[in-house]
Structure 1
């Protein structure tokens, strides 16, 4: 069983999906709330549990992304044919009931919603991924014991509290998330283009938004994310990694593998690789790597502690 430590530092951005994996294809206007399970008990207990134990699918997933700005969401990725998933499910529900709405447990059948599995780069079921302010944080794959789950949840809640996500499922915060105002027109145009797979049009919309409002940090972050998606759109991951290993001094090979690492969730590896390159490079190559690092900082999010750490390392490498 693989049980990586929960990630840290989700970024406040009501309309952006950045971080460990690319969820932009799942971002659509809110159509419906996730379907409540109502399986945690009878009467009032069942009603309470229904607020924080839900079944989700590709149609309802955007509402979970929105809700994660107010309440932490743990996505349980499962399948009817998996014996391990059947063993994990009651343990997940038990822990969710113990925390009584401090996080939402959303169960997703990956066979019924393959787009979600693809967005999370799912390797096997069961697996669990947290959402905080729209940013996915891998938790574990395979089985997990009750004590391990509680540990994951407690760490997740610490990160959530540090980032202002302190609501409870079913409370006023969840209602506020449901009433989130529409996106600015150019931002909506960009997201519609992303959904259609037209990254060039999305980038153009973000650039127009920045031309109108240079201080639009959401547009800046969105543009950085879309440009990353453009660079990786037809990339061969195996070829990129082989080239980077064979040619450690090759600028383009190192930039490409750093892009791949950020998209795959290996954020610290990507940052460390490029900081090392900056330290030994000079002239135009050094500036090119510095500029790419700044773009990737925008992808991950300025308030992410991994970005703060990498900024400090970059400053030391430059000066």
Structure 2
């Protein structure tokens, strides 16, 4: 095995990466145009505001939180402040257009959930992100304060967990139809990066992708390509036999498991890589756990969010973290 000559063709389809980037760009264009025109949200309200009970909590909140932040509104029919806060949260969820999902839980009918979250009074609002429960606020609060809290939640979900929310479907009823996008200004540079990657010029590929991201931080193709190139840089000088021996001897060592997971992914063993890091998250704590979780998110970037193996691993990660 010669790590310097490794090809990622069996792991990442670069044409698919480019298509995913174009789809995301069109989705973001549709979202922005809809907001500008004040038109109907591309994501239907029924997908953004849901009623949740104890039986469906794992599916509707925990599993869903691996893909999008879930804000939980604990309320009751007899609670007057709840009747003011609830409609406001619903309106903000619709305005956010898929950046988070609002789950409404009636505490009278779901006493166990109320106890699990340690709720002393209502209304109480929590968020669940990648399986982690975060208290937001309790009682009534000014709209401006709630908006700021939700904006911070969305930012944390995107930056720390890689959750960008429900994708806008440009073909959805009421969504504007974006005009055909012209050729991107970075097409030549991105093509050069792919050529460098295929030729084994990893440093050149990294530079090319970073140059795109300096001017266009949200460029999906460049982000995924950079994650791929950096992965290859990490493994190029590894001794696979030594790395795997260290991982087998030290199942709770984050560094050993992270290195082995990188090798797994480069070898095309995607599910093994994800499973290894999820298992390591399960047995680590504090900074060690956070390091493993962050590497797992980086490997998600290599494969791409639309891959079903990423979705399955996000769900598994959420279960371990919660």
TM-score, length basis structure 2: 0.43
Larger helix percent: 2
Considering only CA atoms, is the larger Rg found in Structure 1 or Structure 2?
Answer: 2
